[in-house]
Structure 1
Amino acid sequence: MLSILVPIYNYNVYPLVVELHKQCIECGIAFEILCQDDASQSTLNAINENVNTLSNCSFISLKQNIAHRTNRNSLAEKAKYDYLLFIDGDSIIISNDYINKFISNLYDNDVVYGGRQHPAKCPSDNQKLRWKYGKFIEDKAAENRKKKPYPSVLFNNTIIKKECFNQVKFDAHLKKYGHDDTQVSYQLSLLKSKVNHIENAVEHGDIDSNMIYLNKTKESLENLMALYEAKKIDVAFVKLLRFYDFLRRTKSTFIIAKIHSVLEQHLFRNLTGNQPNLLLFNWFRVGYLCSINQKS
């Protein structure tokens, strides 16, 4: 029936697994919960070892780091059931019938995405950039996600048929953070996979600091550029790429990159401060994308 796959890096996953385990038993389904730490060598893994005391559950810590997307692929290869539920280790279950909602929506679907939400209040000023972008940009109701079903799929809190996942998988050639979801969702669109969106959100528990998220954003833009240059994604699939492609065709990327280099420190101060502006964040993303490769 259901393989729940939980990639981890330096995080206490035991409370999440206990809740998932409880709900699976209540649903009376055949299940397994596979947790895999990506060689973080964290002291928290002593707690995570308790996962192995729960029925149908396992936790292992890899000896060598393989990166997040390869960790997900590895978990999928080990899974023995027909449906894979990808859920990140820092997720918080906020519904008592979380598993049941997914099980009830599997019929005639290849992929079911439950959504994500961020806390009502930001935990601290130092996390405001990630929190704001998550809450006001990423957190969308199922009704809105259904308008663009493929680009709206994020591979945290998503169930996919194993036979479907085996046709797409995460691109192990990308080594940096970001746009794993974009690459897989685009492949699903090419296959015309049946995607459904439901209201079954998990809460994002481990919100990055402003500095960490800004650095991750740079990496994700570098990944996006790599996908673009390798022609592994259609520009029409990603709004930011459509704009970049317009700038490239109008020979404007060099000018935007130069302006970005002048404004970068000012943008950096705002985005790592306690009142980051999402409009400035959008400018930062466009400017940084144009500065990655000025040969165009």
Structure 2
Amino acid sequence: MLSILIPTYNYNVQPLVLELQKQAEALSFVYEIIVCDDASNTSQNITIDSNQSIHFIKNETNLGRTQTRQKLALKAKFENLLFLDADVLPKTTTFVKEYFTILSQSYEVICGGCTYEKNEPSKKCILRWKYGKNREEKSALQRNIKPYSAVFSGNLLIKKSVFLKYNFNENTNFYGMDIYFAYQLFFHAVSVKHYDVDVIHLGLESNEVFFKKSLESVVSRNTFLIDKPKIEEINSLIKHYKTLKKFKLDFVFSVKFKLFKSLLEKNILGNNPNLFLFDLYRLGYLCSLQASK
């Protein structure tokens, strides 16, 4: 028995639902698919009346992805939860079958992988694609080296009891809370295993939108995680910050960041963004947030 849970916001989730339904029906096992629309500005055309296993709910106000996932988990009938982002598609026609096979194994958290299309997108989305191809598109073998650092909530199989225990459950709409969830799993020694059960990430944000979300994620790390014990073991950004702080270079770095901020932004939002400069920008931004405390 499996609950497939999909939070969505301003994205057409119908192709994903239909593909999951097709794969699940071929296996003849008990499942449900629940889509929760997070107060989108656009209408969602989800076919639900032809199959009692498909359900659609809608938030009256925008709660954000973290709280929407919480709502979906509470709504789910089964103990096995498979979270998927709305802007993905299974990489193979055996995607659900592979997870169904994993259900028979002993696990607490199973992470699938994320891949990106081979061809470059338009330049207006090149930052998100380049980051995904270079930082997120990794085999299970690579991800299992540091399993907590690679937790991806957009393709995640987890026990309902485990998710509800460790999900961030405050009524705030913060972006980038996957790392908070990963830290909770790490700190409480919840077993995490990665498998090559991949989705293709199709919904690429524009350079400006992804850049903005990345900075919001830095704010989340600064607010909730930077002082957590051993957080540097699973988050490289905070690890680098703590190294600078150890050698009393964090304030200097924040000053340099302000001087070169505009120049860095020009590259990051340009047609050929450099990911090393993107990393420097986020590190400088974190240093500046700490310096302003």
Q: What TM-score, normalized to structure 2?
A: 0.95
Distance 1:91 1:234 in 2: 29
* Mean Cα deviation higher: 98-107 or 68-77: 98-107
In the TM superposition, what is the alpha-carbon distance from 1:149 to its structure 2 partner? Answer: 1.5
Conservation of the 8 A alpha-carbon contact between 1:228 and 1:235: no
When the two chains are superposed, the root-mean-square deviation of aligned CA atoms in Å is 1.6
Q: Judge conservation of contact 2:33–2:53 (CA < 8 Å) in 1.
A: yes
Match for residue 153 of structure 1? Answer: 151
**Structure 2 Cα separation of the partners of residues 41 and 210 of structure 1:** 21
Which runs of no fewer than 5 residues in structure 2 stay unpaired? none
**Corresponding residue number in structure 1 for 2:285:** 288
Deviations 1:123-155 (A, max 9, x none): 211111110110011111011111111221111
Q: What is the aligned partner in structure 2 of residue 13 from structure 1? A: 13
Q: CA 1:191–1:28 in 2, change beyond 3 Å: closer, same or farther?
A: farther
Q: Which digits, 9 at most, give the CA deviation of each residue in 1:65-115, with x for residues without a partner?
A: 111100000000000101000001111122110011111123111111110
1:110 matched to 2:108? The reply is: yes
The normalised TM-score by structure 1 is: 0.94
Partner of 1:29: 29
Tell me, in whole angstroms, the C-alpha distance in 2 between the residues paired with 1:70 and 1:38: 10
One-letter amino acid of the counterpart of residue 88, structure 2:
S
Amino acid corresponding to residue 114 of structure 1 in structure 2 = G
Cα pair 2:70 2:169 within 8 Å, conserved: no
d(CA) in 2 for partners of 1:12, 1:222: 29
Q: What is the aligned partner in structure 1 of residue 183 from structure 2?
A: 186
The unaligned stretches of length 5 or more in structure 1 are none
CA gap 1:182/1:52 in 2 versus in 1, 3 angstroms: farther
Cα distance in 1, alignment partners of residues 41 and 58 from structure 2: 8
- In structure 1, C-alpha distance between the alignment counterparts of 2:99 and 2:192, rounded to whole Å: 13
**In 1, Cα distance between equivalents of 2:28 and 2:12:** 26
Displacement of 1:236 after TM fit?
2.5
Q: Distance in 1 between matches of 2:73 and 2:10?
A: 20
The runs of 4+ residues in structure 1 deviating greater than 4 Å are: none
Deviation at 1:193, TM superposition (A): 2.2
Secondary structure of 2:146's aligned partner: coil
Q: Is the 8 A contact 1:108 1:194 kept in 2?
A: no
Deviation, 1:230, is: 5.8
Paired residues for 1:1-296 under 5 Å: 1-43=1-43, 45=44, 47-48=45-46, 50-106=47-103, 107-172=105-170, 175-178=173-176, 180-229=177-226, 231=228, 234-295=231-292
The structural deviation recorded for 1:295 is: 4.7
In structure 2, how many angstroms separate the alpha carbons of the residues matched to 1:221 and 1:148? 21
**CA 1:28/1:191 → structure 2, altered by over 3 Å: closer, same or farther?**
farther
Residue 229 of structure 1, CA deviation: 4.7
Q: Secondary structure at the match of 2:200?
A: strand
Query: Which whole-Å CA distance do the structure 2 matches of 1:23 and 1:274 have between them?
Result: 39
- Among all aligned residue pairs of Structure 1 and Structure 2, give the percentage whose two residues are the same amino acid: 35
